[in-house]
Amino acid sequence: MKTIASLIGTAALALLSLSVHAQAAKIDLKKGAELYGQVCVACHAADGNSTVAANPKLAQQHPEYLVKQLQEYKSGKRANAIMTGFASALSDDDMRNIAYWLADQKGSTGFARDKELVTLGERIYRGGLTDRRVAACAGCHAPNGVGIPAQYPRLAGQHAEYTAAQMKAFRSGERKNSLQMTQIAAHMTDKEIAAVSDYIAGLR
């Protein structure tokens, strides 16, 4: 647990630095909207509320988190051939403009679909899995899934399929850009991942 706490502290400091830098830079929301329309709209919808379960909803996401992900796609720290191609064409200013424009869009609501799993999902999200030292999701992402600005992403309303895919990618080591999430997902079964992902989809 000390290791996870240390990782949380390190991540928080890094994202705080990013947030301060973003505040110092001039954000151009008009430019962000234009770039989004050119680069992102086909997969993530006009307002950032993707209707395709494989593509994440980005509307109302914390801009610091979005910038971090784009930078890590560009550097190769987060692997995805499609996103690496798009991110590589963006400057840091472009990324900030897009991210802050998306943060200004209203996120759409979702809903849990599996009544048999949602109780398990709620239990994990709110209380974790103490026998395996899996912390409650709510501790970092807030009870209602809105996350913590500059530290942890908004999850509320996210497609369950996308959330589950990312947790499995963390578990397998395919996604390498959050050691904290890798350590958490490593101790979860497919059923537990499906349950918490379904519960998250219904948070609002």
Question: pLDDT band at 111, cuts 50/70/90?
Answer: very high
pTM of the model: 0.87
| Percentage of the chain modeled with pLDDT above 90 | 86
Examine the pLDDT at 88 and tell me if it is beyond 50. yes
Q: What is the pLDDT of residue 100?
A: 98
Rounded-to-integer distance, Cα 111 and Cα 204, Å:
9
Tens of pLDDT along 71-81? 999 999 999 99
The pair of three-digit structure tokens given for residue 153, joined into one six-digit string: 């992403």
Q: What is the pLDDT of residue 23?
A: 52
The pair of three-digit structure tokens given for residue 143, joined into one six-digit string: 């009870």
Which CA distances in Å does 4 have to 1, 11, 135, 174, 181?
Answer: 5, 10, 10, 20, 9
Domains of the chain: 2-103 (1.10.760.10), 115-201 (1.10.760.10)
Rounded-to-integer distance, Cα 99 and Cα 33, Å:
10
Q: What is the pLDDT of residue 5?
A: 47
Q: What is the pLDDT of residue 58?
A: 98
Tens of pLDDT along 118-164? 999 999 999 999 999 999 999 999 999 999 998 999 999 999 999 99
Q: What is the pLDDT of residue 7?
A: 46
Examine the pLDDT at 12 and tell me if it is beyond 90. no
Tens of pLDDT along 177-201? 999 999 999 999 999 999 999 999 9
Rounded-to-integer distance, Cα 121 and Cα 190, Å:
12
To which residue do tokens 């500059």 refer?
A: 150
- Cβ–Cβ under 8 Å, residues 142 and 51: no
Q: What is the pLDDT of residue 22?
A: 45
- Cβ–Cβ under 8 Å, residues 125 and 137: yes
Q: What is the pLDDT of residue 38?
A: 97
Examine the pLDDT at 2 and tell me if it is beyond 50. no
